[in-house]
Structure 1
Amino acid sequence: MGGTDDTSGGTNGGAGGGSEKQANAKLGSWFVRSGWSKGELARQVNRRARQIGATHVCTDTSRVRRWLDGEQPREPIPRILSELFSERFGAVVAIEELGLRTAHQPPATSGVDLPWAAPQTVEMISEFSRSDLMLGRRGFLGASLALSAGPALVEPMQRWLVPAPGGAPQGPLAAVPAARGSRPTRLSGPELDLLESTTVMFRQWDAQCGGGLRRKAVVGQLHEVTDLLQEPHPAPVAKRLFRVTAELAELAGWMSYDVGLQPTAQKYFVLALHAAKEAGDRPLGAYVLSNMSRQMIHVGRPDDALELIHLAQYGSRDSATATTQAMLHAMEARAYASLGQVNKCHRAVRMAEDAFSDSLPTEDPDWIRFFSEAELNAENAHSYRDLAYVAGRSPTYASLAAPVMNRAVELFAADSEHQRSYALNLVGMASVHLLKAEPEQASDLAGRAIDVAKKVRSERVNTRIRKTADAALRDYGTVAEVVSLRDRLRTELPDDAQAAARTAV
């Protein structure tokens, strides 16, 4: 099949053009280091395009060769290539680093350095959620975004703590957009209660079913709430609406992260932080920053993760509950572990445990109630496991991780409301057994994770299982249990490319 994706700009000369293309040395360098063949890269581009709904993309080896020769592909190809190489190398690989150009991005759907003011926050969330609902299915929204990192991310987030200019009141006491020619709408107390309880329900669904099942419903609810915010309300009502908006935007970001839409997730997190500031809710803002920190660890930017979590801790130091403080310390430990800073990691783990011992669940907002004893053990175990990897597969840290991870698995096994977390920690325990050179036990745990993964819709879970199975095959490919795990994955949890091949047959 030929290259029928119609994704190349054709701006580098052609028949009779008088100018010749120059090979894309930057893309070529990344491509060679990746170890991929042209066919494999083409297959991965097609698979990712299907995931984001860009069904018009159908590339092949000849198209990849033309990119390497200097042809500039059209969107969404540059964004897809950036994501694929970022995942391959465990760090953000920007489009520009690949020698590619991206299309002009409208202000509302690009970047994270946004104005910190109520009217603009409402407008940006409304426009972004509408774009997600209308265009995301066809892939154009995700293709218009890039993942920010380094100072370009951290410095704008630091303005979360900056007071409004001129001593003007912050949050909903500041100007709220005027109504658009309609009568003022005053929400009743029961209506506000219903909006808040709906957000709780969405959060429960996410924990039980993964981000892939209800993401669009959350985005739709977020858009409806921003419509309400464009009408005049008393300050207490506006404050509650901004808090609901922040929680929904955070949840939309989390669900996007769970299904692998990293730039979209980051944009929702940023908008959630803006809404939390307008609500005057520092602990909620700190929670949003903790998710941004987790995402930075995921994409191989632990230094950015540490700065974000320290910003969260500083901003909520006098207002966060003990449970929230414990969660922030646990995320701090994860960042230190990824950086290989052993003593600081141990200290953060101890502080997380100490803070959690002071938890009073009756004081906690709903969004932090997920952070149970099981979650505490899971985070700390992953910190020890990450230390083991950074230290060259250290058996010492693997042995530290094992009992803590095992406790997390035991607790999640008895918790029917957090099946995704159960699956993730089964995979985490499998990775610990691989570090301890125990492939049989690792395969058994990964197999149990497959059983749970089939009940939830989480690309994050599926990817973790596949990566663990790949590691087992690489190191213990002749072990019967590992071979059996590989076969189960192919039939019961295939990736998009495998599923498409089976369907074609």
Structure 2
Amino acid sequence: MEREPNRLLQQLIAEAGFSRKGLARRLNDLGTSRGIPGLRYDHSSVLRWIGGQRPREPVPCLLAEIFALRLGRPVDPEDFGMPAISSPLHLGQEFTHTWVEGVATVTALWRADVERRRFLVDSTFAIGAGAAGAVRWLTSPPGGRPVGAGARKVGRSDVTAIHEVTRSFGELDNRFGSGRVRSAVVKYLDTAVSPLLRDGSYDEATGRTLAAAAAELTRLAGWMAYDLEQHGLAQRYLIQALRLAHGADDHALGSEILSGMAHQAIYMGQPSHALDLSRAAQLSARRSGHRTLLAAATVLEAHAHAGLGDSRSCAQALNEAEAAFERRRASEEPEWLRYFDSAYLAAKFSHCFRDLGDGERAVSFARRSLDMDGRFVRGRMFNLSLLAGGLVQRGEVEAACTAAREAFSLAGELQSARTRTYVEDLRRRFEPFRKLSAVRELFEHQLATV
């Protein structure tokens, strides 16, 4: 079918006095300045648009900004024949009922994220969406077989590639922070994983492995958004990761995702919501049979109790988490669960005792947490912050400054909003002692490194 030429665009280009090459160059430059690198449009691209081709978002919005700057008046995409394509504002917040709906939703979410759609960037955390997702995960029957009837045959190598990419991006995230790698993860989901899910040909067995692999990488993208404190976006990704895990019938992965949702809720100061999510994660962990997952979910319940000031319930949950961890069979558990070792568990214990004001035990467990894998740079920064905070609670300010100095040095190497929040939290804890020379020197070090 022949396209109708876009005469409105042609007229506006003439009014603005742009050449096709000049307009394309301004578009690429503006994209880079708006955090959308990699635009490679040229005069031929502009010619195709004049001929009626519709470019993908965010090109129409960028063009509108360019024209508005040149002409000195508001310009909307509708003014040059590129009306905005709207996405539902709740995109990604719903745990859909069927596999087909789930694929459509998650691929649309990836596409909107790549395009940096404003409603996603500005989205806020919605407790109701997380709670509804957890309930559907626990209660929904299988929503259609995960099969595809597209033109491209999906095989084992496609799934293996997703797992390998997830592993590589996860290592980079732990070493450098999410700010350095998240955009690449989302682009890979949109350009490599989306065509497999949406346009691939796969039977139910392959579909389950594909769904599980896509769920792992979607969870990672959500965790990265959380690390950047983009909480509404992170929640949407975690809900969609949970939906993919449902398609895979993977209770272990579902438990891990629910634990991640509980982790985020605790961080956001929503301990009651975290309590619900952690208990849902425990149910899934029991279905999976993996004791480490049960420990992970139960220690998050303990942290939620600590946030609520319930020391008795916290202690009980910590005992249950420790017992589950001692009964684990690590050799039989998924590879993606290897991060949860005794040092990680100790860090979660330290968080609980710090939040309950028990500096003595917070310090004890924080020191144990530092016997950790050196590749987890961000995690070490968090654990050093726990140690410093506990030492301040015990009144050992100079020792706390030593730990905090190392934490601040690591924070300077990371692109992580959570890391900066930990730094600010430590500064507040040291504030009553700011007149001490050791604290003054620490603050000067922080300003120079973070």
TM interval, shorter chain, is 0.7 to 0.9
Q: Which runs of 4+ in 1 moved over 3 A?
A: 51-54, 108-111, 175-178
1:471 is displaced (CA, Å) by 2.5
In structure 2, the residue matched to 1:124 is: 105
User: What amino acid is the match of 1:146?
Assistant: T
In structure 1, the residue matched to 2:45 is: none
1:106 is displaced (CA, Å) by 3.6
Alpha-carbon distance in 2 for matches of 1:452, 1:340: 31
Alpha-carbon distance in 1 for matches of 2:382, 2:270: 21
Q: Is the 8 A contact 1:111 1:148 kept in 2?
A: no
If you compute each CA radius of gyration, which structure gives the higher value, 1 or 2? 2
In structure 2, the residue matched to 1:135 is: 116
In structure 1, the residue matched to 2:365 is: 404
TM-score of the superposed pair, with normalisation by structure 2 = 0.77
Alpha-carbon distance in 1 for matches of 2:245, 2:429: 40
Question: 1:326-365 counterparts in 2 under 5 A?
Answer: 326-365=295-334
In structure 1, the residue matched to 2:145 is: 174
In structure 2, the residue matched to 1:437 is: 395
User: What amino acid is the match of 1:217?
Assistant: A
**Mapped pair 1:148 → 2:126:** yes
Alpha-carbon distance in 1 for matches of 2:236, 2:368: 35
Alpha-carbon distance in 1 for matches of 2:247, 2:165: 21
Question: 1:330-479 counterparts in 2 under 5 A?
Answer: 330-388=299-357, 397-409=358-370, 411-412=371-372, 415-473=373-431, 475-479=432-436
1:368 is displaced (CA, Å) by 1.3
Cα distance change, pair 214–337 in 1 and its aligned pair in 2 (3 A): same
1:363 is displaced (CA, Å) by 1.2
User: What amino acid is the match of 2:287?
Assistant: D
**Mapped pair 1:213 → 2:180:** yes
Give the total of aligned pairs: 368
Alpha-carbon distance in 1 for matches of 2:325, 2:189: 32
Alpha-carbon distance in 1 for matches of 2:230, 2:220: 13
* Residues 207-265 of structure 1: per-residue CA shift (max 9 Å, x gap): 22221111112112222212201123111111111001110110001111111211111
Question: 1:81-230 counterparts in 2 under 5 A?
Answer: 106-107=87-88, 109-110=90-91, 112-135=93-116, 141-143=120-122, 145-149=123-127, 151-164=128-141, 170=142, 174=145, 176=147, 178-179=149-150, 184-223=151-190, 224-230=192-198
SS at match of 1:174: coil
1:197 is displaced (CA, Å) by 2.0
In structure 1, the residue matched to 2:448 is: 491
The alignment-based identity, stated in percent, is: 29
Alpha-carbon distance in 2 for matches of 1:459, 1:469: 15
User: What amino acid is the match of 1:434?
Assistant: V
User: What amino acid is the match of 1:398?
Assistant: G
Q: Is the 8 A contact 1:405 1:429 kept in 2?
A: yes
In structure 2, the residue matched to 1:57 is: none
User: What amino acid is the match of 1:229?
Assistant: L
In structure 1, the residue matched to 2:291 is: 322
CA-based RMSD of the aligned residues comes to 2.2
Alpha-carbon distance in 1 for matches of 2:332, 2:184: 29
* Residues 130-164 of structure 1: per-residue CA shift (max 9 Å, x gap): 1111226xx65312x12102x45313420112233
**Mapped pair 1:290 → 2:239:** no
Unaligned runs of 5+ in 1: 1-50, 55-103, 165-169, 389-396, 494-505
User: What amino acid is the match of 1:322?
Assistant: R
Which range moves more in the overlay, 105-114 or 255-264? Answer: 105-114
1:296 is displaced (CA, Å) by 0.7
1:175 is displaced (CA, Å) by 5.8
Question: 1:11-22 counterparts in 2 under 5 A?
Answer: none
Q: Is the 8 A contact 2:91 2:109 kept in 1?
A: no
Unaligned runs of 5+ in 2: 1-32, 37-84
Q: Is the 8 A contact 1:466 1:489 kept in 2?
A: no
SS at match of 2:160: helix
